[in-house]
A and B are shown apart, each in its own frame.
Chain A
Amino acid sequence: DTEVTQTPKHLVMGMTNKKSLKCEQHMGHRAMYWYKQKAKKPPELMFVYSYEKLSINESVPSRFSPECPNSSLLNLHLHALQPEDSALYLCASSQDNGAQQSYGYTFGSGTRLTVV
């Protein structure tokens, strides 16, 4: 299995809703990432989990809450989002989060989120 699976593929939510995005990988990767990508822009890093612990938070608003229940699973809990949070949310994983230089990220297909 060489895939990162994200669900749902599409999500429409109201500003008062609570929803969660799910990401799963079975490649034995020990680092997992959340990126946000707006139209015509590059992916922007939100969070990094290394060995199931949050290691990087790129000053993301608290209405986004990540969770890593185990080494294969990564969630992003959403609450009280704004319309400007509408974007493609990408999950990625890599073999290691250490200093080894050759580990690239494998991306999931993303969740396209619309906040109304």
Chain B
Amino acid sequence: QKEVEQNSGPLSVPEGAIASLNCTYSDRGSQSFFWYRQYSGKSPELIMFIYSNGDKEDGRFTAQLNKASQYVSLLIRDSQPSDSATYLCAPRTFTGGGNKLTFGTGTQLKVEL
């Protein structure tokens, strides 16, 4: 079982719709969860993080966390063509040597005009 699983996609949504991206993780020691966006050929860019169960909203983005189900999601409202990218889920785990982010395989999102 992979440590962090995401649907690879592509997930296609029309412009203005809500895009829903899902992530499951296996390490129950994961404390916080980060969502990164990566455009083709570019480096990952932090969108938002969440560490408490429930919802967290930031502009058009909402992260949802359910630690009991080991599930994290990202909702993007009013999707724009500029949102077309790969979205990486990254749980943060604190080990004896320090903390590390482990990335999921990413979901490719395509927002169509």
Which residues of A does B touch, CB under 8 Å?
A: 31, 33, 41-45, 48, 50, 55-56, 88, 90, 94, 97-99, 101-110
Contacts and interface: CB of A to CB of B under 8 A. Distances in A.
List the 5 closest pairs (A to B, CB-CB), nearest first. Answer: A42-B103, A97-B98, A55-B97, A101-B32, A55-B98
Most buried by A among B34, B43, B49: B43
Nearest to B88: A42
Interface string B70-91: 0000000000000000001000
Contacts, number: 62
A59 B105 CA distance: 20
16 contacts: A31-B99, A42-B106, A43-B103, A44-B103, A45-B102, A48-B97, A48-B98, A56-B100, A94-B99, A98-B99, A99-B94, A101-B92, A105-B46, A106-B46, A107-B44, A108-B43
Interface of B: 31-32, 34, 42-46, 49, 51, 88, 92, 94-95, 97-106
A31 B45 contact: no
